Amino acid sequence: MGNPFGRPFDAAMQRTILLDALRALETVTSGGTLLDLPYEWGEDFAMNLGSGYGARNSAT
């Protein structure tokens, strides 16, 4: 959450994810198709929600 197109200022990653979504329009053959993209963040991160969920990371 908060990074559907990846990292800030990583134009290459943002472009790749956007293109994956657009290209899917040309390849998907049935409605409701979900595609898992292969990209990994590369480092551990806690579940980091906004303050609306109370103290960060408390919803474990």
- What does the binding site for other proteins look like in residue numbers (CB under 8 A)? 1-9, 11, 14-15, 18-19, 21-23, 25-26, 28-32, 40-41, 43-45, 47-53, 56, 59-60
User: Nearest approach, Cβ of 11 to other proteins (angstroms)?
Assistant: 7
The residue (of 35 and 48) whose beta carbon lies closer to other proteins is 48
C-alpha dist (Å) from residue 53 to 2, 46, 58: 14, 14, 8
Torsion sign over Cα 34, 47, 52, 50: negative
Q: Provide, rounded to whole angstroms, the least separation between the CB of residue 23 and other proteins.
A: 7
Half-sphere exposure of residue 56: CA atoms within 13 angstroms, side-chain side? 6
